[in-house]
């Protein structure tokens, strides 16, 4: 941390000196100094946290050294074990989620009635912007970085990711991002929302530069992580694990990683252009100098639309995975589900301007984007085909992971249907930028992905910690969260249709009752997480010891101890069949030749 601070000040001073040498006025007061300081600060931080000793030394021909701390201390070091990194991601992002949730409760407290109660417009806007970007970060990184990192190598029979040090790097880039974002309320606030549209973002006198730098860094973790998953999944599958036998969660991670690799640059470059407009006198978005604010929106949404699929597809994959194991049936229409993921990948890149129907872009763009957006509902529907076909006539074991997985299907069905109202331009014109949109994306992202995140946490908790959580408390958490969530966000559609737009601290008084209802239910939802935190912390410390396969599931991670040994598989597994062939006589997913020759993960 010290190295990070030193780096920041060195960078800051360096740039100020360069600028004063070049004869620029106010050489010490420009935002470009912050840019220089930030870059060197992040480098200093990374080196100090362990990247220097464990990796960078070898760039200079020096020997690297490992530092393997025991127990809980590992989680605070540059540790390259994917299992450690997965847990680091999960814990870090659950903390961010809860913090951003508190901010949301602050917002709902203010919005419980019209008029400004205790927040100024500036404080509200800043809180809203921070809530938005923190939750976007959670949605992009929690399942992918947390569950993905932990489970993918285990599910494919690998001993780690393809690039373990790169993996650790992506996690340790997160603290500077978090610190920078958390600094914004004290340095002017995020005035523009997470979407940062210019000219507001290029002219605002707030903490915009911090936002831009943090997001570019965060995007880097997404891109590098995507690369890591792709190489791992392509090259490190155990012998016998053909693409047709890949667990569906791994398929969803594979597709998601393509999107992360290919599209994240859009957000980074859009914000880079904002930075250049701000500090380098460029005019990408200055119409008086030949620029166009709409350019930003196109580049931004080019990433930010695929981003929502980056958020939701691992959620779908996780839900389907859990549904199959807890229905004791093969995943119904597995090939269609895989096709669905690939179809969504293909279409995700050509629908972005449905976020811009009322933006004043030329009229001829609306038709094609409407068509492409409607088409995405078809592969999405195939995910539902797979889920519903799997639970139908199954032997449903309604433990908490399964309840959350089923809730994903329920919630996203609602969110997906409301998406149609937004994809159709005639209705979108009124609904754009209203609380109808806010309700829609909370249904899809929270209802779809965050519920899946909790499904994954409960599902893999015994594997990760070696202890079992309390099932009754977990069910309490589920029902409380499910009911609170649906009451809050279903109601939220109504003020949107009635004429309440987004990102406002104050609204017409005729909408008082609806907003009060949303706020009260929001607090109900927020309270459910207290049950979760108590259960998880208590069970982690002193829950009953978990067996290696509490769920009697067939996939590879359940064939090793809880938690797994450092190298994951003492003996490399050989894949002999499909992961979900429950009920198929004599079928076996994997064997461990050499241990005892006995099949593991077999059917009954």
Token code pair at residue 76:
């605070």
Q: Does 413 help bind another protein (rule: CB under 8 A)?
A: yes
Number of residues engaging another protein in binding (CB under 8 A)? 99
Residue 399: strand, helix, or coil: coil
430 binds another protein, rule: CB under 8 A: yes
317 binds another protein (CB under 8 A): no
Q: Can you tell me which of 330, 564, 579, 601 binds another protein, judged by CB under 8 A?
A: 330
Cα–Cα dist 88/217, whole Å: 18
Residues 240-259 that bind another protein (CB under 8 A): none
Site for another protein in 362-391 (CB under 8 A): 362-364, 366-367, 370-371, 374-375, 377-378, 381-382, 384-386, 388-391
Which element (helix H / strand E) includes 588? strand 588-591
Q: Which of 370, 361, 458 is nearest to 406 (CA)?
A: 458
Task: Annotate each residue in 220-239 with x if it binds another protein (CB under 8 A) or - if it does not, as one string.
Answer: --------------------
Q: What are the backbone angles phi and psi of residue 588, rounded to the nearest 5°?
A: -140, 135
CA distances to 189, 273, 589 from 202, rounded to whole Å, are: 14, 9, 56
Of 3, 10, 236, 336, the one binding another protein by CB under 8 A: 336
Among 39, 112, 350, 425, binds another protein (CB under 8 A): 425
How far is residue 5's CA from residue 159's CA, in Å, rounded to a whole number?
36
Does 494 engage in binding with another protein (CB under 8 A)?
A: yes
Answer whether 400's CB lies under 8 Å from 475's CB: yes
Listed ranges 189-197, 311-319, 517-525, 593-601: which one lies at the site for another protein (CB under 8 A)? 189-197
Which residue lies nearer to another protein by CB, 120 or 596? Answer: 120
Q: Does 397 bind another protein (CB under 8 A)?
A: yes
- Applying CB under 8 A, among 1, 183, 417, 530 the residue interacting with another protein is 417
Non-local (6+) Cβ contacts of 228 within 8 A are 161, 162, 163, 166, 167, 170
Among 409, 439, 481, 531, binds another protein (CB under 8 A): 409
User: What is the nearest approach in angstroms of another protein to the Cβ of residue 76?
Assistant: 37
Where does residue 6 rank: exposed (0-12), middle (13-18), buried (19+ CB within 10 A)? middle
Token readout for 217 is 């860094």
Q: For residues 110 and 491, is the Cβ–Cβ distance under 8 A?
A: no
Q: Which of 19, 83, 245, 328 binds another protein (CB under 8 A)?
A: 328
Nearest distance in Å: CB 280, another protein: 20
CA dihedral 276, 282, 283, 284 (to 10 degrees): -40
Between 8 and 482, name the residue whose CB sits nearer to another protein.
482
The tokens of 86 are what?
Answer: 């997965």
Identify which range of 241-249, 475-483, 496-504, 524-532 contacts another protein by CB under 8 A: 496-504
Q: CA 512, CA 493: separation in Å to the nearest integer?
A: 14
Nearest to 163 by CA among 219, 229, 222: 229
The answer to the question of residue 439 lying near another protein (CB under 8 A) is no
Under rule CB under 8 A, residue 467 binds another protein: no
Task: Work out which of 239, 565, 570, 583 binds another protein, going by CB under 8 A.
Answer: 583
Supply the minimum distance, in Å, between the C-beta of residue 223 and another protein.
28
Which of 57, 74, 165, 502 forms a contact with another protein (CB under 8 A)? Answer: 502
């Amino acid at each position: 941390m010290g190295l990070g601070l030193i780096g920041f000040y060195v960078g800051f001073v360096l740039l100020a000196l360069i600028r004063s040498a070049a004869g620029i006025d106010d050489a010490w007061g420009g935002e470009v100094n912050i840019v220089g300081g930030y870059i060197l600060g992040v480098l200093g931080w990374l080196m100090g946290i362990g990247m220097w000793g464990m990796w960078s030394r070898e760039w200079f021909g020096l020997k690297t050294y490992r530092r393997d701390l025991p127990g809980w201390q590992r989680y605070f070091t540059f540790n390259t074990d994917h299992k450690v990194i997965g847990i680091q991601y999960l814990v870090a992002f659950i903390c961010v989620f809860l913090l951003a949730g508190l901010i949301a409760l602050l917002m709902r407290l203010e919005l419980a009635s019209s008029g400004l109660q205790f927040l100024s417009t500036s404080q509200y806007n800043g809180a809203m912007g921070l809530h938005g970007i923190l939750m976007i970060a959670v949605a992009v990184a929690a399942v992918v970085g947390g569950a993905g990192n932990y489970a993918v190598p285990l599910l494919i029979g690998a001993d780690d990711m393809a690039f373990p040090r790169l993996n650790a790097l992506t996690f340790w880039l997160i603290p500077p991002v978090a610190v920078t974002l958390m600094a914004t309320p004290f340095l002017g606030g995020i005035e523009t929302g997470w979407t940062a549209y210019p000219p507001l973002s290029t002219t605002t006198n707030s903490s915009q530069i911090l936002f831009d730098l943090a997001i570019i860094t965060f995007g880097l973790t997404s891109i590098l992580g995507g690369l890591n998953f792709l190489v791992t999944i392509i090259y490190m599958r155990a012998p016998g694990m053909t693409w047709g036998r890949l667990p569906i969660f791994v398929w969803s991670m594979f597709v998601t990683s393509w999107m992360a690799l290919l599209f994240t640059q859009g957000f980074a470059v859009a914000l880079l252009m904002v930075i250049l407009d701000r500090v380098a006198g460029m005019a990408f978005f200055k119409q008086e100098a030949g620029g166009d604010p709409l350019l930003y929106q196109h580049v931004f949404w080019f990433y930010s639309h695929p981003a929502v699929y980056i958020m939701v597809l691992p959620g779908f994959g996780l839900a389907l995975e859990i549904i199959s194991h807890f229905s004791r049936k093969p995943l119904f229409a597995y090939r269609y589900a895989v096709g669905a993921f690939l179809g969504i990948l293909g279409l995700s890149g050509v629908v972005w301007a449905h976020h811009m129907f009322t933006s004043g872009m030329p009229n001829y763009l609306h038709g094609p984007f409407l068509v492409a957006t409607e088409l995405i509902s078809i592969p999405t529907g195939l995910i539902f085909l797979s889920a519903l076909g799997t639970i139908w006539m199954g032997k449903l074991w309604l433990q908490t992971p399964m309840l959350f997985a089923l809730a994903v299907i329920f919630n996203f069905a609602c969110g997906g249907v409301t998406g149609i109202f937004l994809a159709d331009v005639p209705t979108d014109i009124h609904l754009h930028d209203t609380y109808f949109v806010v309700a829609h994306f909370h249904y899809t992202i929270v209802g779809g992905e965050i519920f899946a995140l909790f499904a994954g946490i409960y599902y893999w908790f015994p594997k990760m910690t070696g202890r079992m959580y309390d099932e009754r408390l977990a069910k309490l958490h589920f029902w409380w969260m499910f009911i609170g969530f649906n009451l809050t966000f279903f109601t939220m559609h109504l003020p949107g249709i009635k004429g309440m737009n987004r990102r406002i601290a104050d609204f017409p008084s005729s909408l008082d009752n609806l907003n009060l209802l949303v706020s009260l239910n929001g607090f109900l939802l927020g309270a459910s997480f207290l049950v979760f935190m108590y259960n998880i912390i208590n069970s982690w410390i002193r829950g009953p010891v978990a067996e290696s396969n509490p769920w009697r599931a067939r996939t590879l991670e359940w064939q090793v101890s809880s938690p797994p040994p450092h190298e994951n598989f003492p003996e490399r597994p050989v894949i002999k069949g499909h992961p979900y062939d429950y009920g198929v006589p004599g079928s076996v997913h994997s064997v461990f030749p050499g241990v005892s020759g006995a099949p593991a993960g077999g059917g009954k």
